[in-house]
Chains A and B, each alone.
Chain A
């Protein structure tokens, strides 16, 4: 039966905190006070304000001036189906709005209800959030007319200058799982350690890697070989966790590298089982530890670590190997 490629979905969030600098910072701070700032560039006033002349790159003096808050739509397009990142969750217009006193247009949402309500030259004014934090989205949207509005209770300006802003994007990706990864995870359920033997260079690769990087040869089931479950510890690292989002480890933990017996393959970044990090030594003889056959297993494999039913490695009890070159074998 031909292999049906499996896809995995993962969502990556990008939680950036950005420094605003003197010009954008002043702009964001003014937003909390329901004021919009531009910056002088010769006779022109740039809004959005820039630290540099967009044409020449010359640094501009920090000569900020208030513009708007009302302005004129110079161009627009209608968004019938907003994305999660858009400022409004119902259909709206994205418009280039030249705020009164500015020479350049600001791109922003206009909450006009219908494309029929949009036109070049129409006048719009901001609808402010009641609670403003010094972020572009302190403006909910622009609305037709001359008069700014505030949504809900006006909680007033920020007490301190705004110097940082949060930016959070979240993107869901769907990627194919290489068939070789599926093959090794599947084999692990039967407590088999499977690698791929390159017919060109004769090297063995483990962990479901689908390609010989030396010969650029794609592996398939025909290259799969069974590998021994024993090996020698070649190198190791003990990691003391520092706090990070999504942390699960709290105590120092070990990751070891295992050169498999009778093979040029080294399994990297493997967990240790039933041993203390203090007992890890280069040259130790180790054996694989498997999850019970009927236990559900994670695919795993991140950072080249253990995968599937392979939980980790534990001392086999055999005498250590004395070979000063072992530490060089981490791949």
Chain B
């Protein structure tokens, strides 16, 4: 089957991104889905397929995605799916589903309340159960080891990392930041993402339906994701081959992009991804501030695609969005969006 490039992002929305919300995940989703579909003149009855991205370990409730169905109005019974992944992977599944050509509109979400528990205790449970989980191998430790590898390879240094932090957050001063203590050497507080509660929802539409809904749909012309070995012991941490292969498969090399939204939760990840993707200095990277500014787990990647779509909606021609999952950029997703005149 030939892959259709006539499927487009036509809108998206995100909740306020806050350190701590009083709202439940269902409430976040209810509001953000409404915010995504209403400006397009759509109701929940118009949605042919939904795919939600969330994580039970973060919520602290088994099958929490079943409760989240309350937010999509799943009656009469709907085509629905769920991924225990960032909403960016939910979008991938919806994009695949629309390829079948029998339905026109899909809504995907990513949602998480990171403030619910302690990420340093939750994430080790997702690691290798024999060799990593039993020693509480936490995400900041892994990030620090990857940062050290990137520094050793000349891809990053502590000053360049601080510069990324200042640019992303639009505040701070590099020399001052570099005086801070290490959280995990060589990472300081500014190299780490914030803990953020929030959700995002995105609307995908196919063919003429997309063009009816918006003047300038953001067509998905390339979409791919690849994974590497689960245990960082067996990977070259100063590289990201899965990102490179996904970008090639998504057609990054066919034409320049004007903007790249990279899901870099740690400062060195942005430098490493830039290097692996071979982005020139002309490319605007993470003008949104990226995951260093707001990091709603399970929605952070979907937001990257949302900001890239905004670039197209605003008249841009070609943008790249990246999402990642797992320790040390284990799994990477690349989505290329284009406008048409």
Contacts and interface: CB of A to CB of B under 8 A. Distances in A.
Contacts, number: 154
B70 interface: yes
Contacts of B167: none
A36 B124 CA distance: 23
Contacts of B183: 80
Contacts of B2: none
Contact of A77 (B117, B121, B145, B181): B145
Contact of B136 (A5, A48, A76, A86): A86
A188 interface: no
Interface string B110-146: 0001011110111011001111111111100100110
Contact of B135 (A136, A174, A216): A136
B137 A216 contact: no
Interface residues of A, number: 54
Contact of B121 (A46, A75, A84): A84
Given A54-B231, A83-B120, A136 B131 contact: yes
A211 B113 CA distance: 19
B24 A210 contact: yes
A215 interface: yes
Contact of B125 (A14, A24, A87, A172): A14
Contacts of A14: 125
A171 B122 contact: yes
B131 A107 contact: yes
A216 B34 contact: yes
Given A83-B120, A107-B135, A107-B137, A173 B60 contact: yes
B22 A5 contact: yes
Nearest to A165: B130
A276 interface: no
Q: Interface residue tally of chain B, by bracket? A: 35 or more
A148 interface: no
A321 interface: no
A105 B233 contact: yes
A107 B233 contact: yes
Contact of B133 (A75, A169, A218): A169
A216 B73 contact: yes
Nearest to A85: B136
A271 to B, nearest CB: 23
A305 B130 CA distance: 38
B117 A173 contact: yes
B34 to A, nearest CB: 7
Question: Which of B61, B229, B233: most chain A Cβ within 10 A?
Answer: B233
B26 interface: yes
Nearest to A94: B141
B189 interface: no
B33 A75 contact: no
B120 A20 contact: no
Nearest to A95: B145
Nearest to A11: B60
Contacts of A83: 118, 120-121, 136, 138
Contact of B148 (A48, A77, A106): A77
B135 to A, nearest CB: 5
Contacts of A301: none
A189 interface: no
Given A85-B136, A215-B73, A216-B71, A20 B130 contact: yes
Nearest to B128: A48
Contacts of B74: 213
Which of B135, B183, B186 is packed against the most chain A CB atoms within 10 Å?
Answer: B135
B144 A77 contact: yes
A175 B24 CA distance: 8
Nearest to B34: A216
Contact of B141 (A10, A79, A84, A137): A79
Interface in B253-304: none
A40 B221 CA distance: 43
Given A48-B233, A77-B141, A174-B115, 10 more contacts: A12-B60, A18-B129, A55-B229, A78-B182, A104-B233, A107-B137, A137-B134, A167-B129, A171-B118, A172-B118
Interface of B: 21-24, 26-27, 30, 33-34, 44, 57, 59-61, 69-75, 113, 115-118, 120-122, 124-125, 128-138, 141, 144-145, 148-149, 181-187, 229, 231-235
22 contacts: A12-B60, A48-B131, A77-B148, A77-B187, A78-B182, A80-B183, A83-B120, A84-B121, A94-B141, A94-B145, A106-B131, A115-B182, A115-B185, A136-B134, A169-B125, A171-B117, A175-B60, A175-B116, A211-B30, A216-B70, A216-B71, A216-B72
